[in-house]
């Protein structure tokens, strides 16, 4: 175990100056006995670790160390995990490309000239590059699934409310959840079994079988403006599922095209409220792209947000009905090949890159991104996203484990 920690710290010393995945490494403590004994974990730096400042990716936060561990960190330690580092992120966990002016832009583990995703960029890159075995990120509108996809690892967004957010700096409290990031589905399942504090128990060892499972292949919105190479990888995955005995049917997700806009009308005002004091007194200390989004939040009226919440309630009911006909829905995690860092328009990046993730954040059930294969043109990883009804993590993880065994 000591040799593993030392080897991963050596990787961090060697690669972190280029990748900027970690803000700081931590002295490893002796692990407790438990189901995660010896699992090394990097923690996104908007999640409190006792005795360590929480910067949230800002040069102007984290002046004092956190007094206690966040609930998720406490649970990991009690289960035997070793917290080895704090991971870099987009400032205030707002952004999908890995940009951070305070601690350096996080680079993609596969190709440093491409985006690392966000906002849990450092968490994903730490796992993908071998700086830790697993990581904690957070996911509001795709902040765990997007970096998992572009770095070729697994990112699991639980049902909203399953995992405690105590000790986590919020983005939008109506959508925030902590996200395990791992190299494989069984490790993600084992972590979620420990992290879960609400809902039915999570099976830490999902059965890797897709036989008799009903996979709904998302059409319409989820086929529009999709890169041909991404579509090819996902189509190959669907073909493999069918050959393995899964039932395949095309499904249309009602309201998918509108979900991102309505979610922003709820989430951005919540984010602006979190940072209201800084917006009022020190706006110049906020990253310009983050400031732009927070200002949008300030401009959204309570009446608009209330209408969006009413729309969301109806949207959730309609998607619930969809899951009467299928167990999980499958689609790309992001609709594009992993963009080059110098070709990304920051203002447009969230809307385009994360649009397939926002739909499921707005819904509130669990989703997972896992590697589906490499892009036939660029060779970069293509993430496949599976989504299920609320509290159906066991069904989702079974489907994911089975898919992982096929690709």
Residue with token string 């692990």:
31
Size (the chain), residues = 407
Catalytic residue among 119, 120, 164, 387, which? 119
Catalytic residue among 129, 132, 143, 367, which? 143
What SS3 class is residue 10? helix
Task: Please give the angle made by the CA atoms of 133, 393 and 175, to the nearest 5 degrees.
Answer: 85
- The rounded distance, in Å, linking the Cα atoms of 2 and 84 is 12
129 has catalytic annotation: no
Is residue 325 classed exposed, middle or buried when 0-12, 13-18 and 19+ CB atoms within 10 A define those classes?
Answer: exposed
Catalytic residue among 44, 196, 369, 387, which? 44
Give yes or no for a contact between 122 and 80, defined as CB atoms under 8 angstroms apart: no
143 has catalytic annotation: yes
Contacts of 172 (CB under 8 A, 6+ apart): 140, 266, 267, 268, 270, 271
Residue with token string 């490494």:
25
Give yes or no for a contact between 19 and 125, defined as CB atoms under 8 angstroms apart: yes
Beta bridge partners of 136: 43, 180
Query: What is the separation of C-alpha 256 from the centre of its chain, rounded to a whole number of angstroms?
Result: 19
86 has catalytic annotation: no
- Angstrom distances, CA of residue 9 to CA of 15, 58, 131, 132, 241: 10, 24, 6, 8, 38
Query: What is the separation of C-alpha 187 from the centre of its chain, rounded to a whole number of angstroms?
Result: 15
Give yes or no for a contact between 362 and 260, defined as CB atoms under 8 angstroms apart: yes
Annotated active-site positions, please? 44, 119, 143
């Amino acid at each position: 175990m000591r040799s593993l920690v030392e080897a991963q710290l050596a990787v961090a010393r060697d690669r972190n100056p280029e990748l900027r995945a970690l803000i700081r490494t931590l002295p490893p403590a002796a692990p407790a006995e438990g189901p995660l004994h010896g699992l090394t974990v990097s923690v996104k730096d908007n999640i409190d670790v006792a005795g360590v400042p929480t910067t949230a990716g800002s040069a102007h936060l984290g002046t004092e160390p956190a007094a206690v561990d966040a609930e998720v960190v406490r649970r990991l330690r009690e289960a035997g995990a070793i917290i080895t580092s704090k991971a870099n992120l987009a400032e205030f966990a707002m952004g999908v490309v890995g940009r951070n002016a305070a601690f350096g832009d996080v680079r993609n583990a596969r190709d440093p000239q491409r985006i690392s995703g966000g906002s849990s960029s450092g968490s994903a890159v730490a796992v993908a590059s071998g700086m830790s075995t697993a990581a904690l990120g957070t996911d509001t509108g795709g902040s765990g699934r997007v970096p998992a996809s572009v770095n070729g690892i697994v990112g699991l967004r639980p049902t909203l409310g399953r995992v405690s957010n105590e000790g986590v700096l919020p983005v939008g409290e109506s959508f925030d959840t902590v996200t395990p990031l791992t190299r494989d589905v069984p490790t993600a399942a084992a972590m979620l079994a420990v992290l879960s504090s609400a809902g039915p128990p999570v099976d830490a060892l999902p059965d890797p079988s897709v036989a008799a499972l009903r996979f709904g292949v998302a059409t319409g919105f989820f086929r529009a403006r999709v890169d041909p190479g991404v579509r090819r990888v996902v189509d190959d995955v669907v073909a493999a599922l069918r050959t393995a005995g899964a039932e395949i049917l095309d499904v249309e997700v009602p309201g998918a095209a509108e979900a991102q806009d309505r979610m922003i009308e709820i989430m951005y005002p919540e984010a602006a409220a979190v940072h209201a004091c800084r917006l009022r007194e020190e706006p110049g200390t906020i990253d310009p792209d983050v400031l732009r989004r927070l200002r949008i939040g300030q401009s959204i009226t309570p009446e608009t947000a209330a209408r969006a919440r009413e729309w969301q309630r109806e949207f959730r009911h309609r998607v619930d009905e969809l899951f009467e006909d299928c167990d999980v829905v499958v689609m790309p995690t992001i609709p594009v090949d992993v963009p080059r860092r110098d070709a990304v328009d920051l203002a447009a990046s969230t809307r385009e890159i994360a649009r397939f993730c926002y739909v499921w954040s707005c819904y509130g059930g669990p989703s997972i991104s896992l590697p589906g294969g490499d892009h036939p043109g660029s060779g970069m990883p293509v993430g496949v996203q599976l989504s299920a009804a609320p509290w159906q993590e066991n069904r989702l993880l079974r489907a994911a484990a089975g898919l992982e065994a096929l690709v």
